[in-house]
Structure 1
């Protein structure tokens, strides 16, 4: 890491009136959670069509059988927030991060202490009722499926439960997407972390921020689709760069 660049990026965050962040799969994989789209990602082992909204509606039993297998592969380990999650929570607690948007569905930002991340792809630790729209913790429902209740149904209204994530063929939740877009338009500094910035509409969020005059700070192992717009482009481990930036912002080092 270039210490001068770290200090300069930290200064941009410290001087900004409003700071936003977007996190992608690179933040989750640092905790050991498999990603979806890489050469060794989850979609090389599973057929994405099995997790399409059409399949859920037509064959909820088969969908839930496959969903449980996918959950075991994704979240079967004992995953915990890593230093990148903690650095973002530290920035928020210190008043230097006003909103966090995440593409990840693992809930690790909340575990690290981030108050209310905007989850544009949903949260895999919850399920939602297709009838009454109530949300429930996913683990007890997963256990019911393992014990043979396929598909699981809502104990309140009897309708089928659905993972509270955006399936293939579904649009992103309007409220969350509008909130994320509004945050991008109004921010003075924007951190894009652990994302290739190639998948829309998430990739458009830091672009909106940059075009509205925000300082764009990218942290990712590889070049991204928006590296050319970034004032700071750290191609390094998110668990090393983010803690260094947070420390420099909070402690002035």
Structure 2
């Protein structure tokens, strides 16, 4: 027995297909434009003055934006060293090859950064915010960073956090949460549908940290795509979505 779909006039079906393709192309164009606009912003931090500094738990720090293809040699060395300190353990035997990948990612033109700089209380009291940030380029103490990018995941524009790294002595002081709140604000301001990131399964502290921030295992993570494949993978993909389509595609997997 023929179905109702098979009985439709051929011309009508052709119109539907053309319309569908047009919609798909239009949506892709709109997403690409959102990504282009987000990437074109020179300094995302400038949009959020309340996040220019963090003074809690006995620490006083200031934030500064950066671009992967404009990193100074000392900054590149710092990033490499901090990555090794924090990630060599969780990656284990995979670290030597992963380190090379991270170095290439670090200096990519589309890599965006938020750097964390620390100063003494006296220095902060005597200088304005603008002066402090300028001084960061001239010998301030760098103690962490976020590396993020604007990309498309499952036809959803997202902020992908490649790295969130802090000096171990500053763990547990609320600074990581502060930085992720900033990233989420940047994502929403840029009309991204979600924040996405990858965490090593062995990094239980990081998994607990993101769980407390209400990140969930994404439907794109190996363990959800295919549990058998997921067992052999050392990582999970986590996400926090901000609108219904992103939730459907990145959380529910529809």
Please state which structure has a larger fraction of its residues in helix: 2
Q: Which has the higher strand share?
A: 2
Q: TM-score, normalised by structure 2?
A: 0.28
Larger Cα Rg: Structure 1 or Structure 2?
Answer: 2
Of structures 1 and 2, the one scoring higher in RCO (CA 8 A, sep 6+) is 1
